[in-house]
Amino acid sequence: MLRSILFTAASSIAFAGIVTPHAGAQDANFNAGVGYSRIDIQDVDFDAISLRAGYDFNETFGLEGQVDFGLGDESVSLGLVTADVELNYSAGLYGIARFPLAENVNVFGRLGYVTTELEGSVAGFVADESDDGFSFGVGGEYNFDASNGVRVEYTRTDYDSGEAD
C-alpha cells in the first residue's frame, strides 16, 4: 500500500547552484554541484539536498550522477490514519546533452536511470520501500564564470510501480 501511495505520481523541480571546481588545471571536464530540490509525490512535498557530479566529454555531451537526500519527513493522511513519510535517498546516473543559447547560457536535456527509497511509519510500524526506473529532464544553466553558475531543471521518472510526473 505504501508503494502505491508514494510512487503513483511524483515530480521534481530542482534549483541548484552549480559549483564546478576544477580537479586540476589540466582537466576542466569534471564538475560538481550542490542544490535544493522540491519533490512532489502524490501531493506530498519533500525538500531535498541534491549533490551532483559530472564529466563533460565535450561542450555538448556529458555524464552526470545525482543523489538527493530528504531534509525531513512529511505527514500523509490515509483515511483516519496519519503516516509519516521520509525520502531516504534518490540516486541516478544520466547522460546529458547541452545546447548553447548565448555565451554562458545553455539549455539541456538528460536521460538516465534512478533508484529511490522512501520510509513510512504508522503507529510505530516502519516500512521501507524502494523503486527504480528511467528518468528524463530538461532545464537551463547560466554560468557566471568558468567555475560558478546556477541551474534550474524539471525531471520526470517512470518508476516500476507507476509513473512520476
| pLDDT for residue 13 | 54
pLDDT, average across residues 56-82 = 91
Residue 165, pLDDT above cutoff 60: no
Say how many residues make up the chain: 165
Asked if residues 132 and 91 have their Cβ atoms less than 8 Å apart, the reply is no
pLDDT, mean of residues 148-152 = 92
Can you give the pLDDT at residue 24? 43
Average pLDDT over residues 14-19: 52
pLDDT > 70: what percent of the chain? 80
- Average of pLDDT values for 39-68? 90
CA distances from 159 to 21, 95, 143 (A): 33, 18, 32
